[in-house]
Amino acid sequence: MQEAYVNINSIPTHILTWGRWIEETVTEKELVICITGNPGLPGFYTEFASTLQKQLGDLPVWVIGHAGHDDPPEASIREVPQLTGNEEIFNLDGQIKHKLAFIKKYVPKDVKIHLIGHSIGAWMILQMLEDESVRSRVQKCYMLFPTVERMIESPNGWVFTKLAMPLYSVFGYVFFKFFNALPVWLRLFLIQIYFLIFSIPRSFLDTALQYSKPSVAEKVVFLADDEMCRVRGLQKEIIERNLHLLKFYYGTTDGWVPVSYYEQLKKDYPQVDATLDGQKIDHAFVLRHSQPVAAIVREMIQQNLRN
Active site residues: 119, 254, 283
- CA distance to 116, 118, 265, 275, 285, per residue, from 282 (Å): 17, 12, 20, 15, 5
Range list of β-strands (E), 237-278: 246-250, 274-276
Q: How far is CA 33 from CA 61, 74, 94, 158, 296, in A?
A: 6, 27, 18, 31, 16
The answer to whether 234 and 123 have CB atoms below 8 angstroms apart is no
Residues 227, 218: Cα–Cα separation, whole Å:
14
Question: Strand (E) positions, 97-176?
Answer: 112-118, 138-144
Rounded Cα distance, 272 and 141, in Å = 13
Torsion from C-alpha of 148, 16, 96, 221, nearest 10 degrees: 70
CB 34 within 8 A of CB 293: no
